[in-house]
Amino acid sequence: MSGLEIERKFLVKGEGYKQQAYSHSHIQQGYICSSHGRTVRVRIRDERGYLTIKGPSENGGLSRYEFEKEITLDEAEHLMQLCEPGIIDKTRWLVKSGSHTFEVDEFFGENEGLVMAEVELGAEDEAYEKPDFIGQEVTGDRRYYNSHLRKLPFAKWK
């Protein structure tokens, strides 16, 4: 998959998303490179591997170019060894809301206690239905980017 990624990010209130989720998976991801808004990410999602390249954010963090390719689990495990220090560990919950799917990430390790949701859109002004667990919007706030959480984990904020 490649193309323009348009998404909005939100903090999550409560744990109601778990009962509303139709699926969930475990994700570990590392970054081979993360500077100047560009990232090269390696992800292991359950038993599948992915390599993702993202360009710098545009329009206040609402959109950015993304290229993603599935790779073998063995390739992903080897590439994880090349990553910068700090691994993101989370469970992703999928919740349907209207015609959209919200991806809710529950973080572990040094990011324990942080729960965020994002929704991908086809256009920057596309309407969507917010589930009841959606809180403050954090789209464009770099502190909430996974590549930043790797460097400055949620547990160290204050």
Other residues' Cβ atoms within 10 Å of the Cβ of residue 79? 19
Residue 42 backbone dihedrals phi, psi, to 5 degrees: -115, 130
Report how far residue 105's alpha carbon sits from residue 92's, in angstroms, rounded to the nearest whole number. 5
- List the structure tokens of 37: 């808004």
Expressed in percent and rounded to 5, the helix, strand and coil fractions of the chain are 20, 50, 30
Helix/strand/coil for 153: coil
Report how far residue 96's alpha carbon sits from residue 101's, in angstroms, rounded to the nearest whole number. 4
- The type of residue at 125 is D
Catalytic residue IDs: 31
Report how far residue 33's alpha carbon sits from residue 52's, in angstroms, rounded to the nearest whole number. 11
